[in-house]
């Protein structure tokens, strides 16, 4: 089940801006997805670095290399932050789905 939930979390992240736009035209599914996702993110208690890396990749669309440079870390460490954030969010999002 975790694999399916992680796939859903990644899909929300990859389509975040589209979901934001769709909520303003009354797309109830987009609204529910964003609400559940926001709750999961809040409950995941991401570190500042995890939240920053996640936002830079999915919120601002930056490359792994650019994220690493901006954060003053290697690309690999930046992606570890992103993956740790996704793991934490997935665990909380799975609780929401039950």
Domains of the chain: 2-97 (1.10.10)
Burial of 12 (0-12, 13-18, 19+ CB in 10 A): buried
pLDDT for 92 equals: 95
Q: How far is CA 22 from the centre of its chain?
A: 18
90 — phi, psi (to 5°)? -60, -45
Could you list the pLDDT tens digit for every one of the 98 residues in the chain?
579 999 999 999 999 999 999 999 999 999 999 999 999 999 999 999 999 999 999 999 999 999 999 999 999 999 999 999 999 999 999 886 65
DSSP states of 28-92: HHHHHHHHHHHHHHHHHT--HHHHHHHIIIIIS---HHHHHHHHTS-HHHHHHHHHHHHHHHHHH
The pTM of this model reads 0.90
């Amino acid at each position: 089940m975790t694999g399916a939930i992680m796939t859903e979390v990644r899909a929300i992240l990859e389509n975040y801006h589209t979901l934001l736009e769709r909520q303003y035209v009354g797309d109830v599914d987009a609204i529910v997805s964003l609400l559940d996702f926001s709750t999961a993110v809040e409950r995941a208690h991401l570190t500042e670095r995890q939240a920053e890396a996640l936002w830079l990749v999915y919120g601002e669309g930056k490359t792994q290399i650019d994220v690493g440079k901006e954060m003053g870390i290697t690309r690999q460490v930046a992606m570890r932050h992103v993956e740790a954030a996704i793991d934490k969010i997935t665990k909380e999002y799975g609780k929401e789905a039950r």
